[in-house]
Structure 1
């Protein structure tokens, strides 16, 4: 039987909304939608799609490490963006993080995210080998 491990970032929203930053069951890890906010809830990279994407991927990498994984274990990312015309900015940061890993990915334009300052939200799925 696989044991479920819920990983929290400590954000107040986790208890209010009822979610975990990541959930690990066996060798499978799902990372919740992640936006560019620091540990104090401040937006990182105002109006900078590249900076927000890069920061989010660093947050995802951190939670993966907590789950015993790394970006190398990511098999899928999902990017929700508020302005698809900024594709190159999002893609540049994603490409820097995943150039050699090349997970499956999607980039979907959404009407809005949880706050207007956020330009992108990313989810990730990782699977540990073996």
Structure 2
């Protein structure tokens, strides 16, 4: 059985709900849905800025688990308003155009908090041959 390495919980909710923001098993890193919340708890009203923050957080999680953004193979983006698709796609391009992972962007009805406009998941494979 593969050993799972997790990043430490960043909120009490993770322990309560029993989920992990990001984990590594073997050469694979999986990042849970990530929201663009700033360190001070604030959230930009701009979907593109939220997406930029999501990718910055995801980058940190992947690096903490021994990977790099160049290892990303898949990204899933969930937007609460399809009108924000271009701004979210621009953030994807800034973060990952050089890597060219697979990507999906879909519109959804809502996220947990009304100020959240985008949630992003990512998967990476380290040392893919």
Establish whether TM, by shorter chain, passes 0.5: yes
How far apart, CA to CA, are the structure 2 residues paired with 1:62 and 1:129?
18
Please identify runs of 4+ aligned residues in structure 1 that moved more than 3 A. Answer: none
How far apart, CA to CA, are the structure 2 residues paired with 1:9 and 1:71?
21
How far apart, CA to CA, are the structure 2 residues paired with 1:30 and 1:53?
18
Please name the residue that 1:121 is paired with: 119
Give secondary structure in 2 for the equivalent of 1:76: strand
How far apart, CA to CA, are the structure 2 residues paired with 1:24 and 1:36?
22
Give secondary structure in 2 for the equivalent of 1:121: strand
1:43-82 → structure 2 map (5 Å cutoff): 43-46=42-45, 48-82=46-80
Please name the residue that 2:100 is paired with: 102
Please name the residue that 1:16 is paired with: 16
How far apart, CA to CA, are the structure 1 residues paired with 2:77 and 2:8?
21
Number of aligned positions between the proteins: 128
TM-score for the superposition, normalised by structure 2: 0.93
How far apart, CA to CA, are the structure 2 residues paired with 1:59 and 1:119?
16
In structure 2, runs of 5+ residues without a counterpart are none
How far apart, CA to CA, are the structure 2 residues paired with 1:100 and 1:39?
27
RMSD: 1.3
Please name the residue that 2:30 is paired with: 30
Give secondary structure in 2 for the equivalent of 1:101: coil
Structure 1 residues 58-105: Cα deviation after superposition (integer angstroms, max 9, x where no partner): 000001110001111000000010001221100111101111101001
How far apart, CA to CA, are the structure 2 residues paired with 1:37 and 1:43?
6
Greater mean deviation of Cα atoms: 67-76 or 6-15: 6-15
Structure 1 residues 95-128: Cα deviation after superposition (integer angstroms, max 9, x where no partner): 0111110100111111000101000000000000
In structure 1, runs of 5+ residues without a counterpart are none
